[in-house]
Amino acid sequence: MFTLFSLRFILMFLISFSVSYFLTPLVRFVAIKLKVLDYPNQRKKHQIPTPLLGGIAVYVAYAVSILWNLEFSLELKGIAVGSTIILLIGVIDDWKNLPAGIKLAGHIAAASIVIFWGGSTISFIPHWPCEKILEIIISYFWLVGVTTAFNCMDGVDGLATGLGIISGVCFFAIAYLTHQSYLGFLSIALIGACAGFLRHNWKPASIFLGDGGSNFIGFVLAGLALLGSWSDTNPMVSLGIPLLILAVPIFDMVYITASRIKNGNVRNLHQWIEYVGRDHFHHRLINLGFGERGAVIFIYFLSLSLGISAIAISRTGFREVILLLTQAIIILLIITSVMVVGRKEE
């Protein structure tokens, strides 16, 4: 049944979409004037200098929508403030190239705000000794790791933005079905902001998200995973839902990290942060002949199929959860095969 509550979500989407869509050309103009551009080189596909700072348009649209709603919880405030720090660090990095250590420290500071001020942490751990400490440590790794994973996916026009929409839709669907209002508010604001920007970011992109935008989207999604209440009785569901929704970027980051360590390309944390290569999932698909748009659409469908499994898990029993998780594992094995074959084609 259509309700005033549903109307609020629709209005939040329209606000964030409109602000993002119409603000992006202005941000592009400013980026060109300030010469905050991504210049072509051997490892990049674009042929002309392309403005960065697109994340500013996404962030402003998201923030305007949230502020218009005028309904906040402490957890929502924590994610909002933390994501603002992430955006600022990324924008400065796009402009002035910050050292890796400063970026990492900023990400940890933003995660601390979500965890300690907002009170959002991983909550699937059973009652073990040092349970709270474990939850805090894992929450740090989760927030920083997912943020980094989304930044890694921003290597092809429209990929990170589209994954932000798909992941946001999955989180919103569960929020709507389970009446989690604050999760729904943040999700729908992010969906609209990314959707408005995608028109300008689709190949050939007239503007890029930049590190500020891709890190911002990843951080918000990581925060949504902590904010949501996925299951009161089944730790497997609590763990499985956010992992499935964000499986593609997480798996890509884990796989390439292991591969780079094995091949000797990365030997310490500093090298891991700074290393840039063409060995990500989307690069492997392009090497196999998918083309850039084909690779993006293929990854969209993979992410959507895993996200639908996550939505189904939230509404099913234990046996169905096992079947859906098995399906997800098979999909990840397919991705692994593509990664291996794609590397051979380099």
Kindly give the interhelix angle for 318-344 and 291-313, rounded to the nearest 10 degrees: 160
Q: Whole-angstrom Cα distance, residue 12 to residue 154? A: 26
How do residues 308-335 score in pLDDT, each as one tens digit? Answer: 989 988 877 667 777 777 888 888 888 7
Cβ-Cβ contacts under 8 Å for 195 (sequence gap 6 or more): 13, 17, 20, 165
* Band of residue 346 on the pLDDT scale cut at 50, 70, 90: low
Residue ranges of the binding site for Mg(2+): 151, 211
Which has more pLDDT, 345 or 131? 131
Q: What is the pLDDT of residue 169?
A: 98
CB of 324 closer than 8 Å to CB of 298? no
SS3 string, 225-270, reads HHHCCCCCCCHHHHHHHHHHHCHHHHHHHHHHHHHHHHCCCCCCHH
pLDDT reported for residue 1: 46
Rounded average pLDDT over 243-256: 91
pLDDT of residue 271: 67
The domain total for the chain is: 1
Q: What is the mean pLDDT of residues 97-117?
A: 93
Average pLDDT over residues 26-48: 85
Domain ranges, residue 193: 4-344
Residue 36: pLDDT above 90? yes
Residue showing tokens 């909002």:
80
pLDDT exceeds 60 at position 342? no
Residue 2 has pLDDT above 70, yes or no: no
| Bind-site residues | 151, 211
Closest CA to 338 of 248, 275, 273: 248
